[in-house]
Copies of this chain bind each other. A is one copy, B any other.
């Protein structure tokens, strides 16, 4: 490898970016992966950190460690502030990085439909920091309820409102309800955590709309079994310190969590290429940016329509398949001159989808097969353990799950900040 070896810069160490880097392991290229954090996050299990079942380190792996043995790859912890497509330069907060090929995979963040003022009252679940903050809010609500003499205020502290009936919302609501009813049941004296109310507010007419109506109905039944109240057609008009407003009706809740909307990270909008209403880059059929065959955008920050004209879902299989496709394109581009050969379009192979609802409850579909309940949950468990990056995490997470399953305990019930939160000061 020399300085003239083609240089591939990958921005983002999520499912898309990391897979792209790994798929270039055999290529005679220099690969630089840039991320503003030092870890790859196994986002499908983030709700388990938020509800105290797993520790952050069990669902995150240092990107450096994942790529340690890949000699053509280096990892930079840095913040990308922009891309100069004409000059083929990535702008960092403190420097620049020239590329021959570029893969953008910075994902999506929470979106509050223009109501950014809701964010302080209803955090979303995108990063490890978000998960620890949500865990803190949930556990503190029980601590405050234990000390609250006023019945109405106590009820408000024991009401948890999750907005959005997609996978994140369903998983969070189910997991909070189980935390309260099984795990915390014995721990308190003044309150009965079983009186906890968990509401799942969905604007549409069913939860998990990405699945078939019968699976949605099954999910709603399973949620009811573990004590989650599902309200459909719930249009949120305001979120404040009192709770969630649905028009004139106030749902009083001390803890409100947001799972309703995401929006592509702002990098896409800064590129000067067409984006859609969710801020996603409208990529070409070969995942490249219009007019820039050497630059690609994949995963949640990009949008591509399937043959029926619907956007591909914002899931890790899409990002990972796009990453492998783009890596193959880049490798092929070496021989023919970048962008010279006509490229076959990216085709998404849908292997199925699953969502978990709670301990031994889930729904899943693959091909024409539809599962729900315990079998779907077992499938979910096996798939998620299998894809956890790093053998250590896999074994330890499995053990921890088995232990929680048998004992109804959760190990990571930590509030790691003072009661009155402020910026961290070492004491």
Cβ-defined contact, A419 with B74, below 8 A: no
In the complex, per-residue mask of A407-427: 1 if CB is within 8 Å of any chain B CB, else 0: 101011111111100111011
**Do A65 and B133 contact each other (CB < 8 Å), given the known contacts A74-B189, A419-B78?**
no
Q: How far is the CB of A272 from chain B (nearest CB, A)?
A: 24
Asked if A109 CB lies within 8 Å of chain B CBs, one says yes
**Do A129 and B422 contact each other (CB < 8 Å), given the known contacts A68-B186, A392-B409?**
no
Q: Which residues of B contact A127 (CB under 8 A)?
A: 427
Asked if A69 CB lies within 8 Å of chain B CBs, one says yes
Residue ID in chain B nearest A404 by CB atoms:
B392
Q: How far is the CB of A299 from chain B (nearest CB, A)?
A: 17
Q: Tell me which of B76, B140, B143, B412 contacts A57 (CB under 8 A).
A: B412
In the complex, per-residue mask of A112-134: 1 if CB is within 8 Å of any chain B CB, else 0: 00000001100110111110110
Asked if A359 CB lies within 8 Å of chain B CBs, one says no
**Do A37 and B68 contact each other (CB < 8 Å), given the known contacts A55-B55, A392-B403, A396-B400?**
no
Asked if A110 CB lies within 8 Å of chain B CBs, one says yes
Q: Which residues of B contact A399 (CB under 8 A)?
A: 395-396, 399
In the complex, per-residue mask of A186-208: 1 if CB is within 8 Å of any chain B CB, else 0: 11111000000000000000000
Cβ-defined contact, B78 with A147, below 8 A: yes
Q: Which residues of B contact A312 (CB under 8 A)?
A: none
Q: Tell me which of B57, B124, B396, B409 contacts A414 (CB under 8 A).
A: B57
Residue ID in chain B nearest A67 by CB atoms:
B187
Counting contact residues on chain A (CB < 8 A from B), the size range is 35 or more
Q: Which residues of B contact A409 (CB under 8 A)?
A: 65, 392
In the complex, per-residue mask of A381-400: 1 if CB is within 8 Å of any chain B CB, else 0: 00000000010110110011
In the complex, per-residue mask of A50-70: 1 if CB is within 8 Å of any chain B CB, else 0: 000001111010101100110
Bound-state CA distance A291–B79 (Å) is 61
Copies in the complex: 2
Asked if A146 CB lies within 8 Å of chain B CBs, one says yes
Bound-state CA distance A424–B421 (Å) is 10
Among A39, A78, A189, A407: residue with most chain B CB under 10 A = A189
Bound-state CA distance A127–B415 (Å) is 12
Cβ-defined contact, A124 with B426, below 8 A: yes
Residue ID in chain B nearest A130 by CB atoms:
B426
Asked if A77 CB lies within 8 Å of chain B CBs, one says yes
Cβ-defined contact, B119 with A426, below 8 A: yes
Q: How far is the CB of A32 from chain B (nearest CB, A)?
A: 10
Asked if A139 CB lies within 8 Å of chain B CBs, one says yes
Cβ-defined contact, A39 with B133, below 8 A: no
**Do A58 and B55 contact each other (CB < 8 Å), given the known contacts A39-B414, A426-B123?**
yes
Bound-state CA distance A407–B58 (Å) is 17
Q: Tell me which of B68, B110, B396 contacts A396 (CB under 8 A).
A: B396
Q: Which residues of B contact A415 (CB under 8 A)?
A: 37-39, 77
Nearest 6 pairs of A and B residues by beta carbon: A123-B426, A57-B412, A423-B423, A64-B187, A55-B55, A77-B143
Q: List 18 A-B contacts (CB under 8 A).
A: A37-B415, A38-B143, A39-B415, A55-B58, A58-B411, A62-B187, A65-B187, A68-B186, A69-B186, A78-B419, A79-B419, A110-B427, A129-B416, A129-B426, A133-B426, A392-B400, A392-B411, A396-B400
Q: Which residues of A contact B (CB under 8 A)?
A: 36-39, 55-58, 60, 62, 64-65, 68-69, 74-79, 93, 95, 109-110, 119-120, 123-124, 126-130, 132-133, 139-140, 143, 146-147, 186-190, 390, 392-393, 395-396, 399-400, 403, 407, 409, 411-419, 422-424, 426-427
